Amino acid sequence: MPNTTVTLAAISGAHGVTGEVRLKLFADSIDSLKRYKSFNDGALTVKSLRPTKDGAIARFAEINDRNAAEKLRSTLLTVPREALPPLGEDEYYHSDLLGLPCVSTEGKDLGTCIAVENFGASDVLEIQLPSEDGKPGKKFMVPMTKEAVPEWGDRIVIDADFVI
């Protein structure tokens, strides 16, 4: 079941002395954030938002100085899942993939999707194999491409050629 909230960014620290904060974006671009007037169930109201080379700078109505901004370090900025725009064909939200069971095209249980990373070329799924002898299962990564992942929805199907 998808999460009821989706994280779009995280506050990485203060910027300046007037309460602005630096953001690490988990969305495609700052445009993905601009459609929302507030985050975290209205706890943070956006006054301004501008792009930077490494993310964005935000000013929230509730934050007026550097000390208050520093206290927000590591705060995740979330919105309700239902507030997100509808997905196009072959699109997905990372949060919808996390926790899904994974199987190979041969029907073998591969465990669970535990992370979605992007190192520049495309998204990469991190899969944790089922536990063995009470120990956590090994992990492996697979590119989120049609060749490697032909199907996803209630589960993630991974082409057997991409399984370790």
Last-in-domain residue among 62, 83, 104: 83
Over residues 85-109, the mean pLDDT reads 91
- Whole-number mean pLDDT of the chain? 92
**The predicted structure's pLDDT at residue 122:** 84
- Answer whether residue 4 shows pLDDT above 90: no
Last-in-domain residue among 63, 83, 103: 83
For residues 79 and 14, membership in a common domain is answered with: yes
Query: Comparing 48-52, 72-76, 82-86, 153-157, which segment has the lowest mean pLDDT?
Result: 82-86
**The predicted structure's pLDDT at residue 119:** 81
CA–CA separation, 152 vs 94, rounded Å?
12
- Answer whether residue 104 shows pLDDT above 90: yes
For residues 106 and 73, membership in a common domain is answered with: no
CA–CA separation, 120 vs 125, rounded Å?
13
Over residues 147-159, the mean pLDDT reads 95
Q: How many Å separate Cα 122 from the centre of its chain? A: 14
- Answer whether residue 91 shows pLDDT above 90: no
CA–CA separation, 69 vs 71, rounded Å?
5
Q: How far apart are the first and last CA of the chain?
A: 27
- Answer whether residue 3 shows pLDDT above 80: no
CA triplet 27, 31, 36: central angle to 5 degrees?
Answer: 85
- Answer whether residue 44 shows pLDDT above 90: yes
- Answer whether residue 11 shows pLDDT above 50: yes
CA–CA separation, 99 vs 1, rounded Å?
9
For residues 118 and 139, membership in a common domain is answered with: yes
Q: How confident is the model at residue 139 (pLDDT cuts 50, 70, 90)?
A: very high
Instruction: Count up the domains in the chain and report the number.
Output: 2
Query: Domain containing 134: what range?
Result: 94-162
Any domain includes 48: yes
For residues 72 and 101, membership in a common domain is answered with: no
Q: What is the 3-class SS of the chain, one letter each residue?
A: CCCCEEEEEEEEEEECCCCEEEEEECCCCCHHHHCCCEECCCCEEEEEEEEECCEEEEEECCCCCHHHHHHCCCCEEEEEHHHCCCCCCCCCCHHHHCCCEEEECCCCEEEEEEEEEECCCCEEEEEECCCECCECCCEEEEECCCCCCCEECCCEEECHHHCC
- Can you give the CATH number for the domain in which 16 is found? 2.40.30.60
For residues 151 and 113, membership in a common domain is answered with: yes
Any domain includes 38: yes
Any domain includes 37: yes
- Answer whether residue 1 shows pLDDT above 60: no
